[in-house]
């Protein structure tokens, strides 16, 4: 299980919203990529300064979310049987309505087969 980081961009938006300077855009998409591991196959730790996934291959609207606690919401997104077949996924990100990456999670490779749907989940925690 990989670690989730909150990006600097997300933290900045939260601070500006708390000050009443701007509204906080909602999380609307999840990005999928295959750049979350090293050449040796080790899971890389994402950096809070990252503005994108290392190698994004798809963005799509989230399916929904679940409130886990007062300080945690889990978002989910499902890849259909016909999406990203043959891909070796190892990174996902939460994207807001303005297109900015807010949270990143890297994990061991999950290979997407044609006959399967795959649901990915990522927690947004304060």
Q: Please check the confidence at residue 1 and state whether its pLDDT lies above 60.
A: no
pTM over 0.75: yes
* Residue 65: exposure state from Cβ atoms within 10 A (0-12, 13-18, ≥19): middle
Confidence of residue 115 (pLDDT cuts 50, 70, 90): confident
- The better pLDDT of the pair 2, 123 is held by 123
What is the DSSP track for 100-126?
Answer: -EEEEEEEEEEEPPTT--EEEEEEEE-
The model's pLDDT over 31-46, given as tens digits with 9 standing for 90+, comes to 999 999 999 999 999 9
């Amino acid at each position: 299980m990989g670690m989730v980081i909150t990006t600097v961009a997300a933290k900045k938006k939260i601070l500006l919203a708390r000050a009443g300077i701007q509204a906080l855009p909602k999380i609307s998409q999840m990005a999928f990529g295959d750049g979350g591991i090293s050449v040796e196959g080790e899971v890389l730790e994402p950096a809070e300064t990252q503005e994108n996934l290392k190698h994004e291959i798809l963005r799509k609207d989230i399916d929904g979310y679940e409130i886990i606690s007062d300080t945690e919401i889990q978002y989910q997104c499902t890849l259909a049987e016909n999406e990203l077949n043959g891909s070796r996924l190892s990174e996902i990100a939460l994207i807001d309505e303005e297109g900015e990456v807010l949270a990143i999670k890297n994990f061991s490779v999950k290979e997407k087969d044609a006959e399967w749907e795959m649901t990915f989940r990522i927690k947004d925690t304060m």
